[in-house]
Amino acid sequence: GGNTNTGLGSINNSNNNTVSTTSTPTISTTQTTTTTVTSVNNPFSISDISGMKSKAAYVTLEQNGYANSKTFQEGNVTYKLWYNSKTGECLKTFSRNFYIVKTENSNNCNNTNVYNSKYKGLKSKAVYTSIEQRGFGNTKTFQDGNVTYKLWYNSKTDECIKTFSKNYYIAKVEISNSCK
């Protein structure tokens, strides 16, 4: 007696009854889909565009709320300043041979508020030193009563700003077109 397994076709039990069995092979498939989504949970990072083709990187920046505020060329490198009005962030991209070779945060995207909010209320001499360290040169100075006006030009970025100093403190900084 007892159970005798004679394979997939039949099983004989102690009552000599034959029970037919059928085995169907099971095939398991797994499909993997990868989707990249940029969202609040997966914020954009400037390092995401390093090494990308320039045009694709620029589209990515625009899709993440950045607008190109300035472009300039030096040798075979193209520099672009990008400003995000929602976040107030300013980025600088460096591209060579149609690829992004470097990205960095920048302090100015030709947005008046960047300089004005940074320097307003500070001592004039310290501000002038800081502006010079950023690559600006003083092109003109004039006085009107107790207010000193200075024009500053940065030839690398082709930027022009005007400082207003009253009683040795910066009262205002604005973008100007009067440097050239």
80 in any annotated domain: yes
Range of the domain at 119: 112-175
Give the helix/strand (H/E) hosting 57: helix 54-63
Residues 123 and 99 in one domain: no
The pLDDT tens digits for 42-93 are 577 888 899 999 999 999 998 888 888 788 888 899 989 888 767 778 889 9
19 in any annotated domain: no
The pLDDT tens digits for 9-35 are 445 444 555 454 444 555 544 444 333
pTM of the model: 0.45
Residues 55 and 86 in one domain: yes
Considering its fold, how many domains does the chain have in total?
A: 2
